[in-house]
Amino acid sequence: MQPKYFYRPTFAKVDLNAIKKNILNLKKHISHSVEVIAVVKANAYGHGDLEVANAALNAGASMLAVATPDEAIRLRESGIESPILVLGASSPSFAAVASEKDIMVTVFQKDWFLHIPTLPQKLNVHIKIDTGMGRLGVTTESELSLLLETIHQRQDIMIDGVFTHFATADEEDESQFRQQLEKFKGYLQHFPVKPRCIHAANSAASIVHENSLFDAVRFGISMYGLSPSPYVSNKLPFPLQPALSLLTQVVHVKKVPEGSTISYGATYTTSKDEWIATLPIGYADGMIRGLSGQEVLIQGKRFPIIGRICMDQCMVRLNGQVSIGEPVVLIGRQGSEQITIEEWAQKLQTISYEIPCILTNRVPRVYTQ
Ligand SMILES: *Cc1c(COP(=O)(O)O)cnc(C)c1O
C-alpha cells in the first residue's frame, strides 16, 4: 500500500514494471498454453500483495495463490476478481466463506469434508499430492481414491485442480525431482476425469525443468526478480529483474577521533580519525543485527555498517564527509554498484526468500511503474 505520509526517509521501492517483465519473460520461455499462477503469499514476499497481484494479472497471470484464507479474503475484498487459490491448509470453517467469495482451497484429507455443511454455492478445490516434500498432501494412491470418492458424493464440491510441490527443483542433483515427477504422474492416472488445472512447478522448476510444466506454473520468488538458488542463477534462460530496493538517507555525519567507540556494547573502536554516518534504519525495520558489517552504497561506493545495529538506526564508516540527506542504497543499484538481496542472504546465511519477508511494516512500500 502507498503510505499516507512518511517523514523518515527509509522506504522500500517496488518496481512493478520489473515484476511484469519477469512474468512476460517467463511466459515467453514456457509454452503459450501454460498458465502462470502468481504466488503472492506473505504480502507478496514482502513486496505488497494488492499492488503485486494487480501487476501480475496485468502481465498475464491467470490466477493468484496465497498461503492462508485471510490472505485470499484480503485480495477478494480489495476488488480482485481473478481466481485465487489458498495453497496452505484451510480450516473446514472457511469452506462456506470460500464458496461465497469464490476462493479455491487446497484439500488432502477426506475427513475435512465431514466438517462442512452442504454449501449454498459451489466450492472449487485443488487436491494436493505429497510426492516427497513431506509437508501437505495425500501420501498414498488409496488415500487419493478415498478422497476422490468423498468429493464425488458431494454436489457442492468441484475439483478444479490437482498439484504437488517439489522439494529440490532448485538443485543440481535431479534424482529426487525426477522421482517426485514420476510419482505425480502415477497419481494423475487415478482421476476418472482430468481436472482443469494440473500444476507442479515452482519458480525453479518452471525455469529449469520443462518437463514439469503441465497446465500451469506457480511463479513466486522469480516473479520478484530473485533466483531460487545459486544453482538456478547459473542456468537462467532470461535475466531476472529484482523489483525491490531498500533506500534511506544519511541523517547525521561526524568526524570522530581515533579511539572513539560506536553503538551499544562499544564493540567498534575507531582506529584513526573517522567519518561516521548515522542511518535511520534498524532491526525493527528488518535490518537485523546479523547485518553488522554488511556494506551500503553512498555516492556509488560501498561503505560498511559498523558496531551493533540498533532498533531504529545504524552507523556506517565513510571515507570523508557527506551531506545530511545523502541518498543511501541498502539493497539495489547506485551508479555502477549494486547490492543484491542474494548478497544479504549470503551474509545472513539464509536464502533470498527470507530477506524481503523480514522487512517489517514500518518500512513504507513505494511503487513505481
Ligand atoms: C511458495 C510456494 C510456491 C512458490 O515457490 P517459489 O519457489 O517462490 O516460486 C509454489 N508452490 C507452493 C505450494 C508454495 O508454497
Distance of CA 46 to the CA centre of its chain: 7
Residue 16 CB–ligand 1 contact under 6 Å: no
| CB environment 215-225: b (16+ within 10 A), e (fewer) | bbbbbbbbbbb
> What nine digits make up the cell of 180?
517426485
Q: Write the CB contacts of 326 (distance below 8 Å, at least 6 apart in sequence).
A: 249, 250, 277, 298, 299
Contact 259, 274 (CB under 8 A): no
Contact 237, 207 (CB under 8 A): yes
Distance between CA atoms of 221 and 292, rounded to whole angstroms? Answer: 26
Cα dihedral: 18, 24, 28, 31 (round 10): 130
Which residue spans of the chain are classified as CATH 3.20.20.10? 16-226
pLDDT score of 21 more than 60: yes
Distance between CA atoms of 162 and 196, rounded to whole angstroms? Answer: 9
* Per-residue pLDDT reduced to its tens digit, 59-102: 999 999 999 999 999 999 999 999 999 999 999 999 999 999 99
Residue 216 CB–ligand 1 contact under 6 Å: no
Residue 87 CB–ligand 1 contact under 6 Å: yes
User: Given pLDDT bands bounded at 50, 70 and 90, which one contains residue 5?
Assistant: confident
Residue 48 CB–ligand 1 contact under 6 Å: no
What mean pLDDT do residues 219-237 have? 97
Which residue spans of the chain are classified as CATH 2.40.37.10? 244-339
Looking at the annotation, which residues are catalytic? Answer: 41, 264
Closest ligand 1 atom, CA of 202?
9
Task: Determine the residue of 202, 212, 236 to mutate for testing ligand 1's pocket, defined as the one with the most ligand atoms within 8 A of the Cβ atom.
Answer: 202
- The domain defined by 16-226 folds into TIM Barrel (3.20.20)
Residue 165 CB–ligand 1 contact under 6 Å: yes
Closest ligand 1 atom, CA of 165?
13
* Residue length of the chain: 369
What pLDDT, on a 0 to 100 scale, did the predictor assign at position 352?
Answer: 97
> What nine digits make up the cell of 324?
545530511
CA of residue 72 to ligand 1 center, whole Å: 15
CA of residue 220 to ligand 1 center, whole Å: 6
Helices and strands in the chain, H and E counts: 11, 20
* Per-residue pLDDT reduced to its tens digit, 254-304: 999 999 999 999 999 999 999 999 999 999 999 999 999 999 999 999 999
User: Whose alpha carbon is nearest atom 6 of ligand 1?
Assistant: 220
Measured from the Cβ of residue 256, the count of other Cβ atoms closer than 10 Å reads 15
- The domain defined by 244-339 folds into Lyase, Ornithine Decarboxylase; Chain A, domain 1 (2.40.37)
What pLDDT, on a 0 to 100 scale, did the predictor assign at position 4?
Answer: 73
